[in-house]
Amino acid sequence: MRTILHADMDAFFAAVEARENPALVGSPVVVGADPRGGGGRGVVAACNYEARKYGIHSAMPISEAYRRCPGAIFLPVRGELYSSVSSRIMTILEGYTELVEKLSIDEAFLDVTGSTRLFGDGVAIARSIKREIFEHEKLTVSVGVAPNKFLAKLASELEKPDGLVIVTHGREKEFLRPLPVSRLWGVGKKTGDRLFELGIKTIGDIAASPLNRLERHFGAVHGGRLHRLANGEDDRAVEPGRERKQIGRETTFDSDTDDRERVRTTLLGLTEEVAARLRHKGLAARTVTLKLRVAPFDTLTRRRTLDRSLTTTEAIYPVALQLFEAADRRERPIRLIGISLSGLHERLPEHQLGLFDAPGKDPDDSATQVASAIDQITHRFGKDAVQRGKLIKRRLPAGE
Amino acid sequence: MKVKLTRDNFQKGLSAVAATIPARTTLPVLSNILVDTVGDMLRVRGTDLDISVSVQTPAEVERQGAITMPAKKVAEIARELPEAPVDLEASGGRVSLVCGNAKFRLNSLPSDEYPSFPEVPFDDGWTMSSGELQKLSAHTSFAASNEESRPILNGVLWQVRGTDMYMVATNGHRLAKMAVKLDGAPSGDIDLIVPPKALHQVERLFGAEEELRIARSESHLGFRTDRVEIYTRLIDGPYPNYEQVLPKDNDKDCVADTAELTSAVKRMSIVASDQTHRVKLSFGPERLALAVQTPDLGEAEDAIPIEYSGEPVEIGFNAAYLLEVLRYIESDEVKLTLKAPERPVTLEPVGSDDDYICLVMPLRLLE
């Protein structure tokens, strides 16, 4: 049996700010865009637990945060500071095992199965990590200890801040049973609604459902995964070297198509998806690769690397479209189209200014603003809650 | 067609047009060169439909005619030929090439399938020395954009106003502008947006002393001497208003040793982020401090003496942009002017007659 830890820093950016300036402790602190300058545009990057009491959360428009709590302390994002604190914390984690998989700037999985002889069991290691991080960085971390990644991550979320939740082997189902289905990985708005219609409200309800019923309603892959997770099964390994090399998505048309406009629209939809996943990971990309398969089975790929960071559909789609137009010889029907983003890096705290930008305004700003608003809505209401007009499938009223 | 020419002339003619032959093309005839006779000259032409080059080389013409030949193969053959005269003869859809004991017979496409060159009214054009044009191009075209998101910035703006001639190029993050005085002015203003590739051909194929005849049509620009012709498609304007972004209120001047500044930036750039190449320059009294800090890698700092009397300013830059611009500053000292951390910085040669200015936009530092 493996021992997996998930360590997740508590309100990381805000906590670092409070540590740098102890006068902030106890007050609501919001890190993000300037609520007054910039006309209240931009979003909350992070906030502390005091600010959350006012209903403020990350990705909320900064103007909304200001409305909810004008007395909060609003601070700019200091990316370099957070990265340097993060890398020191990761070094602490790496002192316990070589198997540390960094998920983002403030969370990581650890496989400590092989370290227990040296440092004691999972709980002892978790306590020791919490103590060491607090001693060195004056910051708190919530840790989940469990037999697999899924349970460890769930456990770390349960008692934030400064939490320590243990899921012992043999009690996985008991731990999961009362939790709402929305806690399951892969359950969003759509699946959640469907489960609700089936009378399934808790993870325990899913675990108790016959597998074939889930497969019938959610397909073999998704249904099977729900069932396994609900039963506390997850065999994904902790992969230390695992840096995301690329984020991609491709689709095969039902039948080979000559309709170039349809291909372009499909490409737009795929771009929208990969751009959202990119932002969800807090990453930006530099290289766009287009994959095109023409009938019967010839595959072409074309890529372009830009000298700027890409995060939005507005920035990525024109590049993808140019690659498509250059690759497509318009001779044969198209079977498959795909896009992938690589040259991935954390979103950079610095921004190259442009000569022809309006003063004080970032040209990518409005696209970035729209994207984060959409991300937020998608997060709350599901993937299809907001769509580009171009991607909405028109249903013509009958008789026309 | 039947001609005899020296191996060197044959090689020169081929290498002149080789750069315009597209590596991959959807139109098979474009991977060929067109070879024909003009009086007692052999003319070699190549095109990628955007840029067309034609070069004449002396030959003994026995029979006039025209033929196409596979460009890449013929260029490779020419490189390996022995030191002997070259005989070219076209007949029956094939071309034979004989040099010493080496004989080649190559398939060829009919010359009338070759795209015709753009028509440019040279009678309405103007004449200028190629050296001035080459100088402008060599100092500015590097700054044009390689990205296709704003096609207009892929070109170099070339303007003539009276006896002043300018070239300007930018990718929106850094800009280079140079001006020269013309001895004789063409009549009227000239505004052209020219692909840098065409200007590189102008730099490569004309001698600095040559007098060029230049003319434009609606869509094309042509350069011509007796021997060489270059045509290029023009990029449709209008070019963004660059004059508006040239800072007029930069109130802090800094003079640095060009070589010292270049090597300091180079040293710092090694530790700079691969993504932003960010380096921080702190201008202070008589001292420029340079620093980089890259998470996951480390940090570095350096300093050089400068002439500077303004108040201290810290500015972040993409080191790659700075180095690129510094490469073209040929004077021993370089003058930088600045105003504030997020405002454009200019770089100019010191003590040079060149009317040359480069501009670099900073990185916004969020700290």
CB pairs under 8 A between A and B: 70
CATH number of the structural domain spanning residue A196: 1.10.150.20
Q: What does the pLDDT read at residue A398?
A: 45
**One domain for residues A196 and A56:** no
**One domain for residues A218 and A111:** no
Q: What does the pLDDT read at residue A395?
A: 47
Mean pLDDT of chain A: 84
**One domain for residues A67 and A147:** yes
Q: What does the pLDDT read at residue A40?
A: 58
CATH number of the structural domain spanning residue A359: 3.30.1490.100
Looking at the complex, report in whole angstroms how far the Cα of residue B85 sits from the nearest Cα belonging to chain A.
43
Domain at B246-360, CATH homologous superfamily: DNA Polymerase III, subunit A, domain 2 (3.10.150.10)
Instruction: Report the topology of domain B122-243.
Output: DNA Polymerase III; Chain A, domain 2 (3.10.150)
Looking at the 3D structure of chain A, how many domains does it have? 3
Looking at the complex, report in whole angstroms how far the Cα of residue B247 sits from the nearest Cα belonging to chain A.
10
Q: Is A273 a catalytic residue?
A: no
| Tokens representing residue B91 in the block | 């007949």
Looking at the complex, report in whole angstroms how far the Cα of residue A222 sits from the nearest Cα belonging to chain B.
37
Decide if A235 is inside a domain. no
Decide if A400 is inside a domain. no
Decide if A236 is inside a domain. no
Model ipTM value: 0.75
Tracing tokens 């990381």 back to the chain, one arrives at: A12
Is any Cβ of chain B less than 8 angstroms from the Cβ of A306?
yes
pLDDT per residue as tens digits for the range B56-94:
999 999 999 999 999 988 988 998 999 999 999 998 889
Does A286 sit within 8 Å of B173, measured CB to CB? no
Which run of H or of E encompasses A128?
A: helix A122-137
Helix, strand, coil percent values for chain B (each to nearest 5)? 25, 45, 35
**One domain for residues A260 and A211:** no
Does A355 sit within 8 Å of B344, measured CB to CB? yes
**One domain for residues A142 and A53:** yes
Average pLDDT over residues A130-137: 92
Q: CA angle A48-A53-A57, nearest 5°? A: 55
Residue B51 to residue B29: CA distance in whole angstroms: 15
Beta-carbon neighbour count of residue B38 at 10 Å? 13
Which is catalytic among the residues A50, A101, A107, A137? A107
Beta-carbon neighbour count of residue A261 at 10 Å? 8
Cis peptide before A161 (omega within 30 of 0): yes
**One domain for residues A367 and A272:** yes
Every domain of chain B with CATH number 3.10.150.10 lies at 2-113, 122-243, 246-360
pLDDT per residue as tens digits for the range B192-209:
999 999 999 999 999 989
| Tokens representing residue B147 in the block | 């990205």
Residue A367 has pLDDT above 90, yes or no: no
Question: Domain B2-113 is in which class?
Answer: alpha beta
Q: What does the pLDDT read at residue A242?
A: 58
Does B295 sit within 8 Å of A355, measured CB to CB? no
- In chain A, whose CA is at the least distance from the CA of B342? A353
User: What count of Cα atoms within 13 Å lies in the side-chain half-sphere of residue B189?
Assistant: 3
Contact B69, B108 (CB under 8 A): yes
Decide if A237 is inside a domain. no
Decide if A240 is inside a domain. no
pLDDT per residue as tens digits for the range B123-141:
988 888 899 999 999 999 9
CATH number of the structural domain spanning residue A26: 3.30.70.270
Does B363 sit within 8 Å of A350, measured CB to CB? yes
pLDDT per residue as tens digits for the range B274-291:
777 889 999 999 999 999
Q: Which domain holds residue A374?
A: 246-392
Decide if A294 is inside a domain. yes
**One domain for residues A109 and A148:** yes
Q: What does the pLDDT read at residue A38?
A: 57
Is any Cβ of chain B less than 8 angstroms from the Cβ of A318?
yes
- Lowest-confidence range among A136-150, A258-272, A381-395, B14-28? A381-395
List, in sequence order, the alpha helices (H) in A8-78: 12-20, 49-52, 62-68
pTM: 0.61
Decide if A239 is inside a domain. no
**One domain for residues A253 and A357:** yes
Q: Which residues contact A385 (CB under 8 A, 6 or more apart)?
A: A189, A377, A378
Decide if A71 is inside a domain. yes
